[in-house]
């Protein structure tokens, strides 16, 4: 399945994935998805993205020119894993900006 994801959706999904409890096998699957979602060096540079690996804090320049959403291919298994995670994890209503367009793709009405 092709999902159109912008940089905020990719960063946010990586964070949500990173907060999941998982078995060793599940962790490896989650890591594979996180690796797929990571910003390229150029994308990170374009938005001034920086991550403090000690604290996990992530920042970027809110005034930077936002790269366009990118078509990303996911296997059926990866899509089902994302759907299950999003149905089961606790999210905040404030996540609507990045989450709603993703939910519309994964769970069309």
Q: Write out the DSSP string of 54-99.
A: TT--EE--TTSPPPPPEEEE--HHHHHHHHHHHHHS---GGGHHHH
Over residues 93-100, mean pLDDT: 91
> Domain map of the chain by residue range?
2-106
Number of neighbours of residue 83 by Cβ within 10 angstroms: 13
How confident is the model over 21-76, as pLDDT tens digits? 888 888 898 899 999 999 989 989 988 898 888 877 888 888 887 778 999 999 99
Whole-structure pTM value: 0.85
The whole-angstrom separation of Cα 36 and Cα 74 is 9
The pLDDT of residue 77 = 93
């Amino acid at each position: 399945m092709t999902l159109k994801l912008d940089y905020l959706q990719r960063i946010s999904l990586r964070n949500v994935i990173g907060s999941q409890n998982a078995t060793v096998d599940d962790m490896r699957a989650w890591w594979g998805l996180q690796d797929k979602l990571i910003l390229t060096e150029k994308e990170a540079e374009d938005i001034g993205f920086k991550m403090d690996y000690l604290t996990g804090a992530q920042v970027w320049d809110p005034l930077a020119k936002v790269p366009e959403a990118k078509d990303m291919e996911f296997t059926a298994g990866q899509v089902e894993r994302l759907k299950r995670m999003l149905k089961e994890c606790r999210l905040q209503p404030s996540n609507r900006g990045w989450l709603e367009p993703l939910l519309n793709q994964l769970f069309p009405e």
